[in-house]
A and B are shown apart, each in its own frame.
Chain A
Amino acid sequence: MTDLATSEAPAGAALAETDDGTARLHRAILIGIAAALVVAPFVAYPVFVMKVLCFALFALAFNLLLGYGGLLSFGHAAYFGMASYVCAYTAKNWGLTPELAILLGTAVAAGLGTVFGALAIRRQGIYFAMITLALAQMVFFFSLQTPRFTGGEDGIQAVPRGKLLGLLDLTDDRALYWLVAAIFMAGLLAIYRIIHSPFGQICKAIRDNEPRAISLGYRANQYKLMVFVLSAALAGLAGATKAIVFQLASLTDVYWTMSGEVVLMTLVGGLGTVFGPIVGAIVMVTMQNYLATLGAWVTVIQGVIFVACVLLFREGIVGVIAKAIKKPL
């Protein structure tokens, strides 16, 4: 993906010399997002907002790997879906409290990410993408072949939302919402922090010019693996949270189309921008939900939007805005 990185560098690379103005703008946006999270459940349907947040976190995690690690994974559904299964299974069958189930799901995703990442980062570009896809297909196969664990295509249904820390009842949508919003915000801040840390800077250096970074003494592969695992874990966090929100985990979450969806979200929102994936997730999930009443025209309209996106605003929605205000977002 090296050529990708260079063509898309401006938005990300400029971040390296974070000037005061940009930092202030970003802080303002983060506060704006937090404020929006507080207001959202009162103006929109909470379950819908929670879904958006889960997918936004998923897209953010994916973008961490692609936008900042320069690695296009086409198998992120594996971490998202597997975490979702683990969380749903442990919450339902072991009676774990939701926070433990989510953590366990996330941990499994991180573990899976470590194994898959170690294999995949040995290749680059399209080959990297294909290895991740193939490994994810194996996870799908595993999920299909272990109906005792995953429930086959019926999925794991009726997962209890349980009580947070054994105290706070989450069956109420509003109560659950605050948990999901907090998880999302924590994830966003963590990613923001990672991108702007020395670690993130080195990742970007490797993305832009790997041989040079190696010649400077950085162990490129270790950094790549690290960012891969972080991304997988965060994707897992999103998937596990989703299992609690919808009280189910199903095969759609591990299927390759889910990996494709997250790529689309990131591209629509703006690749290599910090906030783009959030916008992309909002657009995609809204389309899925509110176009649903249009019946058979849904796929056609989605298709037209993708084509228009590539032809008209290639940098993604946030990318276009960033260009207009000449500040990285």
Chain B
Amino acid sequence: MFELLGIPPQALFGQVLLGLINGSFYAILSLGLAVIFGLLNIINFAHGAQYMMGAFVAWMALNYLGLNYWFALVLAPIVVGAVGVVIERLLLKRISHLDHLYGLLLTFGLALIIQGLFRNQYGSSGLPYGIPPQLAGGQNLGFMFLPNYRAWVIVASLAVCLATWFLIEKTRLGAYLRAATENPTLTQAFGINVPLLVTLTYGFGVALAAFAGVLAAPVYSVNPNMGGDLIIVVFAVVVIGGMGSIMGAIVTGFALGLVEGLTKVFYPEASSTVIFVIMVLVLLVKPAGLFGRPA
């Protein structure tokens, strides 16, 4: 048996797989962020807060309505997405013509409000949420023990990512969307309701964040700060992938999860910084990100 830098290869397989699983959270979140940025030109700083809301809606559905995880998986994106639609209609719409700095400030303010309200109501230490019984337990893969829930996370997120990609790149609706991103005025002139498209896109991006939140609820601590620091990392993923590139966000999300996973083995202390190192390198070599088109 050979060893790589003192790590047996079986263990390494395990870590690679775990990295990919964490990457699936990055992929869904950065996908939502990329979709929103693409059309609205807004860096949605409330993305982390909306992710947190997804997890909380799952908890509320279980504790107030008695609805289990599977209902929450559908319900939370709809509820949080609806909140997103309201936010877009009431607030973001008014600043759509402005520089994205203002969008950032506004959504940052929103994130503070949302997190503050949840903290006042539910406290800061979090709430318990268990793994759905259908997915409890795990498989022994020989090189590692893979919990069934983790396997489900990777499947679910791949499915959602690919469906989104298909929707945007291969359908008529997606074509409108891309057209509106490219030239909203012209698209409007062709009789397409661009404002509605914008609203729905924001709602959709937010719904993706909520979906990730529900996926996270059984394995991560459900607390009001859970999305707080995430936004910076996820935004870095979007930038590395190339702003506005859907495939870029997905692939980079998984890839960076992988890199982070390997860093956790060889230099664990640096595992939260490695993404930024990569970002600097990528931007210096490929200014528009890995999958972005140079402006």
Residues of A within 8 A of B (CB): 1, 3-4, 7-8, 72, 119, 122-123, 126-127, 130-131, 133-135, 137-138, 140-141, 144-145, 256, 260, 263-264, 267, 271, 296-300, 302-307, 309-311, 314
Contacts and interface: CB of A to CB of B under 8 A. Distances in A.
Nearest to A7: B99
A111 B217 CA distance: 45
Contact of A131 (B91, B102, B279): B279
B189 interface: no
A130 B239 CA distance: 8
5 contacts: A127-B288, A137-B273, A138-B273, A141-B270, A314-B98
A310 B109 contact: yes
Top 5 closest pairs, chain A to chain B, by CB: A306-B109, A303-B112, A303-B113, A300-B116, A299-B116
B106 A126 contact: no
B106 A310 contact: yes
Contact of B106 (A4, A122, A134, A306): A306
A232 B114 CA distance: 33
A154 B287 CA distance: 38
A127 B98 contact: no
B232 A133 contact: yes
Nearest to A302: B112
Contact of A311 (B91, B99, B287): B91
A122 B285 CA distance: 11
B140 interface: no
Given A7-B98, A256-B232, A126 B112 contact: no
Contacts of B112: 299-300, 302-303, 306
A296 B235 CA distance: 28
Interface in B93-142: 94-95, 98-102, 105-106, 108-117, 119-120
Given A263-B101, A299-B115, 20 more contacts: A1-B99, A3-B99, A4-B99, A119-B280, A119-B284, A123-B284, A127-B287, A130-B239, A131-B279, A134-B279, A141-B270, A263-B105, A298-B116, A299-B113, A303-B112, A304-B113, A306-B109, A310-B95, A311-B106, A314-B98
Contacts of B108: 260, 264, 306
Given A126-B100, A303-B110, A137 B276 contact: yes
Contacts of A130: 235-236, 239, 279, 283
B102 A300 contact: no
A241 to B, nearest CB: 27
Contacts of B232: 133, 256
Interface in B75-93: 91
A267 B102 CA distance: 9
Interface string B280-293: 10011001100000
A87 to B, nearest CB: 24
A307 B91 contact: yes
A134 B277 CA distance: 7
A264 B108 CA distance: 10
B269 interface: yes
B287 A123 contact: yes
Given A300-B113, A307-B113, A127 B105 contact: no
B53 interface: no
Nearest to B235: A130
A317 B43 CA distance: 23
A126 B273 CA distance: 20
Which residue among B113, B243, B273, B276 has the maximum number of chain A CB atoms within 10 Å of its CB?
B276
Given A119-B284, A141-B270, A310-B95, A296 B116 contact: yes
Contacts of A4: 99, 101
A314 B91 CA distance: 13
Given A127-B239, A133-B232, A297-B116, A309 B283 contact: no
Contacts of B43: 126
A141 B109 contact: no
A297 B276 CA distance: 33
Nearest to A3: B99
A130 B104 CA distance: 14
Contacts of B105: 263-264, 267, 306, 309-310
A310 B102 contact: yes
B109 A305 contact: yes
A304 B116 CA distance: 11
Contacts of A140: 273
A267 B235 CA distance: 21
A7 B232 CA distance: 26
Contacts of A300: 112-113, 116-117, 120
A133 to B, nearest CB: 7
Interface string B253-288: 000000000000000011001001101100110011
A126 B243 contact: yes
Contacts of A299: 112-113, 115-116, 119
Nearest to B113: A303
Contacts of A304: 109, 113
A122 B114 CA distance: 37
A138 B276 contact: yes
A320 to B, nearest CB: 15
Nearest to A309: B105
